[in-house]
Amino acid sequence: MEPIRRIVSRTVVLPQRDVDTDQIIPARYLKVTRRGGLGEALFADWRYDKDGKPRSEFPLNDPKSKGAQVLVAGANFGCGSSREHAPWALRDYGFRAVVSSSIADIFRTNALKNGLVPVVVDAAVHDRLLATPGIEVTIDLDTRTLGADGIRASFPLDPFARHCLMNGVDELGYLLEQSKAISEYEEAACAP
């Protein structure tokens, strides 16, 4: 994975709260055996009309949103299923961070494993970001801060996840290094 230290980008705002993973990528797109190429399916039922044409009123289809790497979304983003296809689709589309006032647990875990930075900010900062679509933000993993014109907010990021993101390390490598401890656990046979 490519190391991530800083993301500087304009935002796209999707103000609805409780955006579930079925909206991020509908289930009919989950019949794949690879992880690539899912950006086309991102928000498919909101993004395209019944003929497959982009809906002009959907924020991602606004020409000003082109190239934006930071999605600002309403509270409880990513609730619902455990499908990792959701962060795969967001990454494949070009997003590198999701900012909200809360992010669902499984989605957050999945995002961290795919170089998509989950940024949780307080309600006041969240409201300002929701109210100013297209604003340029700087997300700095080293200082765990989100900065923008007149905004400077810190956000929580698990130290281990941060280390993995900043060094491009994946967690599987770390787990494989625990092999001896896992064997000892298995031998102790305390697992019922």
Partner 1 sequence: MKPRTLFEKVWDAHVVRRETADTPAVLYVDLHLVHEVTSPQAFEVLRERGLRVRRPDRALATMDHSTPTTPGAARFAIADAQAAAQLRQLEQNCQDFGIELHALGSEGQGIVHVIGPEMGVTQPGRTIVCGDSHTSTHGAFGALAFGIGTSEVAHVLATQCVLQRRPRTLEVRVDGRLRPGVTAKDLILAVIARIGVGGGSGHVIEFSGSAVRVLSMEERMTVCNMSIEAGARAGMIAPDDTTFEYLARTPRAPKEAEWERAVARWRQLPGDPGAAFDGSVRIDGEALEPMITYGTNPGMAVPVGAYVPDPAAVSDAAARAALEKALRYMDLRPGQPLLGQRVDVVFIGSCTNSRIEDLRGAAKVMRGRKVAEGVRVLVVPGSRRVKRDAEAEGLDRIFSEAGAEWREPGCSMCIAMNGDQLAPGQYAVSTSNRNFEGRQGKGGRTFLASPLTAAAAAVTGRIADARELLT
Binding status of residue 53 toward partner 1 by CB under 8 A: no
Binding status of residue 176 toward partner 1 by CB under 8 A: yes
The 88-127 site mask, x for binding partner 1 (CB under 8 A), equals --------------x-xxx--xx--xx-------------
- Find the helix or strand (DSSP H, E) in which 127 lies: helix 123-131
Binding status of residue 26 toward partner 1 by CB under 8 A: yes
Among 2, 187, 189, 190, binds partner 1 (CB under 8 A): 190
Spatial CA neighbour of 167 closest among 137, 138, 141, 139: 141
Binding status of residue 17 toward partner 1 by CB under 8 A: yes
Judge residue 156's burial from the number of C-beta atoms within 10 Å of its C-beta, 0-12 exposed, 13-18 middle, 19 or more buried: exposed
Spatial CA neighbour of 155 closest among 166, 174, 140: 140
Query: How many other C-beta atoms lie within 10 A of the C-beta of residue 38?
Result: 23
Contact assessment for residue 92 and residue 43, using Cβ atoms and an 8 Å cutoff: no
Binding status of residue 40 toward partner 1 by CB under 8 A: no
Q: Give the interface with partner 1 as residue ranges (CB under 8 A).
A: 15-18, 20, 22-23, 26-28, 30-35, 45, 50, 74-76, 79-84, 102, 104-106, 109-110, 113-114, 158-160, 163, 170-172, 174-176, 178-179, 181-182, 185-186, 190-192
